[in-house]
Amino acid sequence: MMVKDKVAIVTGAGRGIGRAIALLMAEHGAKVVVCDYGVSVNGSEPSSGPAEAVVKEIKEKGGEAIAIADDVSNFEAGRRIVQAALDTFGRLDCLVQVAGILRERMIFNMAEDEWDDVIRVHLKGHFNLMKFATGIMRQQGSGSIITFTSVAGLEGSPGQPNYCAAKAGIVGLTCSTALAMSKYNVTVNCIAPSAITRMTGRLAGPAAQAMTDAGEPEDIAPLVVFLCSEQARHVTGQVYTAEGYKIAIWSHPREIRTVSNHERWTPERIAEIFENQLGQDELSRFKRLDIPLPGRATSEFGN
């Protein structure tokens, strides 16, 4: 058993990817805090039913688990969820954060609350639990944190500016926390999953097209279990993709071309050297989704 006797919090664990992770963590010996607010994809209609159902599955197979139906986007909920793990199991070894919602809209049509709600659940929700979990793990001198980004956060998605911004922010939060917690023997890694879930089932257009190679939620869980195990104690600050039977590692942003001048740059001088010496690192989704670059196709808004 890869995580025997470890105590794990899994958010968004009532359905989909979170549920698959909670079940596999329990199968490998973890005691699981199944946290799920039980809401619909857009964040409405909370229910304790999904979390309780997963706990029932775990217990029927001989595992240990408790259910918590709490809102990860609430700061005090972060404290309550972490405290529940301590009160019930005495420690906290793993924090896996899957919970999220969607509010799709093009940037020029997006309402303020649609932006705020997605940022609050995904990005602030990650912070709320990590704030309290890192304090405990620092005292213990050990722990594993798994954050969840998205390929949309790494490459963009035209109809999900709120979701992309939140998921990109989670990568930054992961890197910062990995650096801060390394000396306390705490690892922090990020996964960009690709799986068919109720969230992806409502996507349309380019976002749906990007999911053509997606696998099942159960394809994501093994990587999480490994990263929470003692075999991965040296792995931190990384971003991985899990998609079907494929696992990949992403590079961190870094300079790919540099140009220096003997004096302060002028706009005219930049224009002279730009195409041949600097250029672009084109987002891969432009080609994958057949989106033309500005100025290379006739626009309906052009003259």
Active site residues: 163
Alpha helices in 39-160 (DSSP H): 49-60, 75-89, 112-119, 125-140, 151-155
- Rounded Cα gap, residues 124 and 100, in angstroms: 11
Distances (CA, A) of 262 to 98, 258, 265, 268, 273: 49, 14, 9, 15, 14
- Rounded Cα gap, residues 38 and 199, in angstroms: 13
The H-or-E segment that residue 86 falls in is helix 75-89
11 has which bridge partners? Answer: 35, 97
Q: Looking at the chain, how many residues does it have?
A: 303
DSSP-derived pairing of the beta strands 143-148 and 94-97: parallel
- Rounded Cα gap, residues 151 and 175, in angstroms: 17
Distances (CA, A) of 57 to 24, 157, 169, 228, 275: 11, 35, 34, 21, 58
Structure tokens, 254: 């870094």
Tell me which residue has tokens 């250029």.
Answer: 279
Compute φ and ψ for 16, nearest 5 degrees: 55, -135
Q: What letters, b where the CB count within 10 A reaches 16 and e where it falls short, cover 155-174?
A: bbbbbbbbbbbbbbbbbebb
Structure tokens, 103: 């509010």
